[in-house]
Amino acid sequence: MAAPAAADTLAEVPPRGPGAPLSATSERSGYVHLGRIPESTPGRRPVDPGEAINSKTPLGQLVGTITPADLHYERSHAGVPDIDPALHRLLVHGMATRERVFTMDDIRAMPTTSRIAFLECTGNGWENWKTAPPDVTVQNTHGLVSTSEWTGVPLAYVLDLVGADPAATWMLAEGGDGAAVARSIPLTDEIIAEGMLAHGQNGEPLRPAHGFPLRLFLPGLEGNLNIKWLRRLKFGDRPFMTRWETARYTQLQADGSARQFQLRQEVNSVITAPSGMMQIRPGFNRVTGLAWSGHGRITRVEVSTDGARTWRDAAIAGPALPKAQARFQADWVWDGTPARLVSRATDEKGNLQPDRARFIAQTGTNALFHYNAQQTWAVDAEGRVRNVLA
Amino acid sequence: MSWPRPGVLGLLAALAGGLAATAAEFGRPASQDEIALWDIDIPPDGTGLPPGSGSVARGLQVFEETCAACHGDRGQGGIADRLVGGQGSLGSAQPVKTVGSFWPYATSLFDYVRRAMPYPAPQTLSDDDTYAVVAYILSLNGIVPGDATLSRSTLPSIRMPNRDGFVPDKEFSVIHNARQSPPRTP
């Protein structure tokens, strides 16, 4: 029995009655359809899930700023390992006076901290480096960023626990996945103060896709540095130069050189509605979206409806937390003529999200990672919203 | 930089906050033997490279048996990355990033092959075969001759064509932190 498509009078609203019994976990409404999209490299779409390398968050259908854990974006390099926490071990060694092995019981017994922060794949936005596919949604263009409350042991606590040598300036973090993904982490004061060995996400243990039972979490830094399924930390006094920090997550510049250890996620924003493949009607439309920066808080978001010729301030909802996504919105009355919607964010360090022309002039089109240029959505006279370069 | 004094700092930590005391309550000491089982990273100076050796000729056999199905005949690419060619393309509109054109360190190739390849069964190649397949991939790129044999004494001295192609981000090119500061005397 399908519910009536419309309830034009209150008499047509279905009557009340006893509902479903209580259950151990609650499912989403059968009327709500939310899902991630498994994808691969830019331009390859659709992708057979067996060949996917990432899975993108449905930003266009979410509200607020927290991403449900099952919809958090995912990027893995050799699939999701099935790890029994009783058999998981963390080895901490190298330049430290007390090289140690920890169980998950040890780690869960340590002091914890919690923090709401975004996590973003360094490839987020890579659809639009060279061309703008017109038939994509904001999930396709920007779905590799999500926000959670992360809970774990402060990195500084672990450094003290093992007696990390003060001369240790880099730390190798390695995963328990099939690719044994490993990245060198620079031990700056900021990273020591804010990093954590996370075992919780949005109030529950990490899910396997996000690193169960343990991952590194480094607020504001590129996703792949936040090593999932963490099983080894090694202290040293220089970068270890793994494949991921040389051949993979480096940014090719126009002159053929590559930027290395570009670890911070720059200030960014995107309008999530109206956005790609949506349909709007003349009259009132609420423009809303998300803004975030690896430098700190979002302090200002501006929106343009005329292709970045004129700007006005959007309202930022609630407290804008440092290195977390902030929700913005602005009222807009559409007159039915073609329009171009753009947002640009500013963070507390004064970084302003660049327009595409300036961004490409500085970086070229081959960097593949760390795209944070302003996103433009074109609205035609029929109200169809499409992805365009600018 | 000129300030490594773990003993002194451990004592200070014990006096300051009692963290050294709680260390005994979490985890257990790691033995050198078990550290050796997991300590698989190979930095550019070659520290940690295992004994053994492998020739280009043996590498060809290993490659055809375990790598070519994904990386293509002679590393030309398939469902997985192309490994050969692309030198001189990095500044063009269509850069081709391969071991030969892009990777800055031969040691990183050994590290990666050993830790992550072959994809369905990582860490199953012998050390000899890992040296061999690295030698073969480098020979395909013209970086070592076809009769080369690699070992821990020769691998770190290989100079990759794009060795100087990387510019570290200013923010993370030199790392300083408060832990390096001399402790205050009470």
Contact A115/A155 with Cβ under 8 angstroms?
Answer: no
Say yes or no for a CB contact (<8 Å) between A163 and B179: no
C-alpha pair distances (Å), A79 with each of A209, A229, B67, B181: 8, 11, 19, 42
| SS3 of residue A357 by DSSP | helix
pLDDT at B10 over 70: no
Specify whether B33 is located in the same domain as B109: no
Mind listing the pLDDT tens digit for each residue in A187-213?
999 999 999 999 999 999 999 999 999
Distance CA B88, CA A39 (A): 30
| Within-domain flag for B126 | yes
- In B, minimum Cα distance to A233 occurs at B39
pLDDT of residue A3: 53
Indicate the average pLDDT of chain B. Answer: 89
Of A167, A256, A260, the CB nearest to B90: A256
Whether residue B4 is predicted with pLDDT greater than 50 in this model: the reply is no
In this prediction, residue B22 carries a pLDDT of 53
In angstroms, what separates the C-alpha of A386 from chain B's closest C-alpha?
A: 26
Q: How many Cβ atoms from other residues are within 10 Å of residue B24's Cβ?
A: 12
Examine the domain organization and report whether B150 and B102 are in the same domain.
yes
* B166 CB-near residues (< 8 Å, 6+ apart): A246, A250, A257, A258, A259, A260, B104
Identify all chain A residues contacting B118, using CB atoms and an 8 Å cutoff: none
Tokens of A98: 């007390």
Interface test with B, best of A184, A240, A249, A265 (most B CBs within 10 A): A240
Q: Does a structural domain hold residue B151?
A: yes
User: Which of chain B's residues have a Cβ under 8 Å away from the Cβ of A264?
Assistant: 171
ipTM of the complex in this document: 0.94
Q: Which of A93, A159, A255 is nearest residue B91 as measured by Cβ atoms?
A: A255
Q: May I ask the CATH architecture of the domain A268-388? A: Sandwich (2.60)
- A213 upstream amide cis, omega within 30 of 0: yes
Cα B106 from chain centre: 8
Q: Name the residue ranges covered by the structural domains of chain A.
A: 85-258, 268-388
Residues B22 and B84 in one domain: no
Residues ≥6 apart with Cβ < 8 Å to B7: A97
* Interface test with chain A among B39, B175, B184, by most A beta carbons within 10 Å: B175
The closest of B157, B176, B168, B171 to B46, measured between CA atoms, is B157
Residue A96 is given by DSSP the state B
Q: What does each C-alpha distance from B160 to B86, B94, B104 come to in angstroms?
A: 13, 21, 6
B182 falls within a domain: no
The residues near A242 (Cβ < 8 Å, ≥ 6 apart) are A172, A182, A183, A184, B41, B108, B111, B112
From first to last of its 390 residues, what are the pLDDT tens digits of chain A?
455 568 899 999 999 999 999 999 999 999 999 999 999 988 888 888 888 999 999 999 999 999 999 999 999 999 999 999 999 999 999 999 999 999 999 999 999 999 999 999 999 999 999 999 999 999 999 999 999 999 999 999 999 999 999 999 999 999 999 999 999 999 999 999 999 999 999 999 999 999 999 999 999 999 999 999 999 999 999 999 999 999 999 999 999 999 999 999 999 999 999 999 999 999 999 999 999 999 999 999 999 999 999 999 999 998 899 999 999 999 999 999 999 999 999 999 999 999 999 999 999 999 999 999 999 999 999 999 999 999
Question: Chain B residue closest to A241 (CA)?
Answer: B43
Residue B173 lies in a domain: no
Do B93 and B17 reside in the same domain of the chain?
no
Q: Are strands A230-236 and A89-94 parallel, antiparallel or unpaired?
A: parallel
The predicted structure's pLDDT at residue B2: 37
- Which residues in chain B have their CB less than 8 angstroms from residue A169's CB? 175-177, 180
Selection from A37, A27, A31 nearest residue A73 by Cα: A37
Determine whether the interchain pair B177/A258 forms a contact, defined as Cβ–Cβ distance below 8 Å.
no
Task: Give the closest of B22, B108, B169 to A261, CB-based.
Answer: B169
CATH number attached to the domain at A85-258: 3.90.420.10
Are both B17 and B105 inside the same structural domain?
no
Q: What is the mean pLDDT of residues B117-141?
A: 98
- pLDDT class for B1, splitting at 50, 70, 90? very low
The verdict on residue B177 lying in a domain is: no
For the segment A224-233, what is each residue's pLDDT rounded down to a tens digit?
999 999 999 9
pTM: 0.93
Cross-chain residue pair B41–A242, CB shorter than 8 Å: yes
Distance from CA of B152 to the nearest CA of A (A): 17
Residue B3 has pLDDT above 60, yes or no: no
In a domain, B175, yes or no: no
Compute the C-alpha angle A58/A59/A62, nearest 5°. Answer: 90
For residue A319, the model assigns a pLDDT of: 84
CB pairs under 8 A between A and B: 183
**Tokens linked to B155:** 């691998």
Tokens linked to A119: 């996590």
B15 and B62 together in one domain: no
* Range with lowest mean pLDDT among A52-61, B16-25, B67-76, B164-173: B16-25
Looking at residue A4, its pLDDT comes to 53
Separation between Cα atoms, residue B147 and residue B20, nearest integer Å: 55
Provide the token pair at A9: 């009078």
Task: Residue B11: give the domain boundaries.
Answer: 7-39
Q: In CATH, what number is assigned to the domain containing residue B90?
A: 1.10.760.10
| Chain A: closest CA distance from residue B62 (Å) | 19
B48 and B100 assigned to the same domain: yes
* Chain A residues inside the 8 Å CB shell of B44: 241
Name the residue facing A165 among B6, B40, B102 (closest C-beta).
B6
Confidence of residue B147 (pLDDT cuts 50, 70, 90): very high
Sequence-ordered list of residues with C-beta below 8 angstroms from that of A132, at least 6 positions apart, any chain: A387, A388, A389
- If one counts the domains in chain B, the total is 2
Chain centre to alpha carbon of residue B42: 4
Q: Give the mean model confidence (pLDDT) for residues B56-74.
A: 98
B103 and B29 within one domain: no
Q: For A125-188, give the DSSP string.
A: TGGGSS---TT--HHHHH-SEEEEEEEEEEHHHHHHHHTB-TT--EEEEEESSTT--EEEEE--
pLDDT at A162: 97
Which candidate, A137, A90, A129, A182, places its Cα nearest to that of A360?
A: A129
8 Å CB contact between A55 and A42: no
